[in-house]
């Protein structure tokens, strides 16, 4: 039995039908041939796009020449009301300046320093679980948000402001697809965008709440009472080139993407990992045994969770939280036997790359042992990009791998998860790869 995979559309559909399918779910809007193609071209009256699955092409775009292939504004069309001018959307010198300020917060021993906060969030998540049938995406979203608030602002999810931000994000992520439909038609900046009214309002409320958190932290920094967490580190770091720090508005932009990236992606991966453990109880028992052997909150414990790490990595392969990335050509380019004119959209799809039939052995199967095979090791180097790769690799990738592995272990330490009959999840892409009607599992206390 293979884990669930969304159906593919027919090879040929009209642009209008494609837009309808895309709006509903980016994954099932794609044809099955993309799981074998090295490159595919899609034309509309407004732009041309090229999906790239060949590792050499991806290396060219993301690693070798990233400045020639900036992030496409098509992504910004959908997310700018929430993320403003955050590091996720910017390009060029603005992006480089932002990374120079942000990256030091995640370097060196910072991961070790944030580990106790992650541990506490994992313990809190396990304590919130109850026996019975539960929709686990809600549970993993709660846990991932708790990690973000504890590590970024040193407050738990129960804090009133944190809880309000979390509630608004839950409403926002279900209403907003990855690409706004207006992105299909390049429009001047002054023209109105077709955002849903509730999406715009939710984004504004989230930004208002984040502004309160940033202002509070700025006051604490000025008074010398701020905790030494990620927010303080970022807000007190200056760009070594310009000598400038983030303005309050810029910091709101960055916190918005930290929460979106750290909360949405981790919640998605954790929910799918729990489902896979229910689908493969033998692996679940191995993860639980590793977790029960942990004795205390010590960063060295992560080295003992080897099976759990393989399971979580395999989950990221099958269900990469960010299914597609879009770059843009700044000049005419030649890829394989095709010419991509200036302004073409280059789509790099972790979803298709991670399941590519010409790269992976048994690509649709769940097999955590693959990471120790020659094929798995080769594909990990060349065809595994859940956090992107190259200059724009997610700055929190190491953070996410520790968080996901730790929370998965702690939850399965205390609970067994079982499949609920006739409630198989169907993967769809909203802001991240989620299940269309949630992931429902039966939870039972585990005997230790």
- In angstroms, the CA 375 to CA 384 distance is 12
Other beta carbons less than 10 A from residue 211's beta carbon: 15
**69 or 175, higher pLDDT:** 69
Least confident of 46-60, 195-209, 216-230, 297-311: 195-209
Q: Which domains does the chain have, with CATH numbers?
A: 15-445 (1.10.630.10)
* Mean residue pLDDT across the chain: 89
**191 or 384, higher pLDDT:** 384
pLDDT in tens, 180-218: 444 444 444 444 444 556 778 888 999 999 999 999 999
Q: Which residues sit opposite 434 in a β-bridge?
A: 428
Q: Which residues are CB-neighbours of 178 under 8 A, at least 6 positions away?
A: 26, 75, 78, 323, 324, 429, 430, 431
Least confident of 45-59, 271-285, 320-334: 45-59
Q: Quick one: pLDDT at residue 30?
A: 83
b/e 374-392 (16+ beta carbons within 10 angstroms → b): eebeebeebbbbbbbbbeb
User: What percent of the chain shows pLDDT beyond 70?
Assistant: 90
- In angstroms, the CA 383 to CA 27 distance is 19
- In angstroms, the CA 124 to CA 289 distance is 20
| pLDDT of residue 84 exceeding 80 | yes
Q: 181: which 2 tokens?
A: 């439909």
Can you tell me the mean pLDDT for 83-98?
A: 94
Q: Quick one: pLDDT at residue 196?
A: 58
pLDDT in tens, 321-336: 999 999 999 999 999 9
**197 or 38, higher pLDDT:** 38
Least confident of 33-47, 115-129, 157-171: 33-47
Q: Is 417 helix (H, G, I), strand (E, B) or coil?
A: strand
Q: Quick one: pLDDT at residue 447?
A: 85
pLDDT band at 123 (very low <50, low <70, confident <90, very high): very high
CA-based nearest residue to 50, from 320, 385, 335, 323? 335
């Amino acid at each position: 039995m293979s884990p669930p995979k969304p159906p593919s559309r027919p090879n040929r559909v009209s642009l209008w039908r494609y837009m309808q399918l895309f709006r509903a779910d980016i994954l099932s809007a794609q044809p099955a041939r993309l799981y074998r193609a090295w490159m595919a071209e899609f034309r509309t009256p407004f732009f041309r796009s090229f999906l790239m699955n060949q590792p050499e092409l991806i290396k060219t775009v993301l690693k070798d020449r990233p400045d020639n292939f900036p992030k496409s504004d098509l992504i910004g069309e959908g997310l700018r009301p929430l993320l403003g001018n955050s590091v996720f959307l910017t390009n060029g010198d603005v992006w480089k300046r932002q990374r120079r300020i942000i990256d030091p917060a995640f370097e060196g021993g910072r991961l070790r320093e944030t580990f106790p906060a992650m541990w506490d969030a994992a313990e809190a998540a396990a304590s919130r679980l109850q026996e019975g049938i539960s929709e686990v995406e809600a549970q993993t979203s709660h846990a991932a948000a708790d990690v973000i608030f504890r590590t970024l602002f040193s407050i738990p999810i129960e804090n009133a402001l944190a809880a309000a931000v979390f509630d608004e994000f839950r409403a926002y992520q279900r209403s907003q697809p990855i690409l706004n439909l207006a992105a299909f038609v390049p429009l001047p900046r002054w023209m109105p965008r077709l955002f849903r009214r509730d999406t715009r309002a939710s984004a504004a409320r989230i930004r208002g709440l984040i502004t309160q958190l940033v202002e509070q932290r700025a006051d604490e920094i000025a008074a010398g009472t701020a905790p030494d967490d990620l927010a303080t580190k970022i807000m007190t770091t200056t760009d070594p080139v310009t000598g400038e720090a983030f303005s309050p508005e810029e910091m709101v932009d960055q916190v918005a993407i930290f929460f979106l990236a750290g909360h949405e992606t981790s919640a998605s991966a954790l929910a799918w990992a729990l489902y896979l453990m229910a689908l493969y109880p033998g692996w679940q028992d191995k993860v639980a045994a590793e977790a029960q052997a942990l004795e205390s909150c010590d960063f060295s414990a992560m080295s003992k969770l080897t099976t759990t790490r393989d399971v979580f990595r395999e989950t990221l392969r099958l269900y990469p939280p960010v299914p597609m990335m879009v770059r843009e050509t700044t000049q005419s380019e030649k890829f394989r036997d095709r010419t991509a004119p200036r302004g073409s959209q280059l789509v790099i799809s972790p979803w298709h790359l991670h399941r590519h039939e010409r790269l992976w052995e048994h690509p649709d199967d769940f097999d955590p042992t693959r990471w120790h095979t020659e094929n798995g090791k080769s594909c990990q180097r060349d065809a595994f990009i859940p956090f992107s790769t190259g200059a724009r690799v997610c700055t929190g990738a190491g953070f996410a791998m520790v968080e996901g592995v730790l929370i998965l272990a702690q939850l399965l330490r205390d609970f067994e998860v079982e499949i609920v009959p006739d409630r198989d999840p169907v993967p769809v892409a909203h802001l991240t790869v989620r299940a269309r009607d949630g992931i429902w599992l039966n939870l039972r206390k585990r005997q230790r």
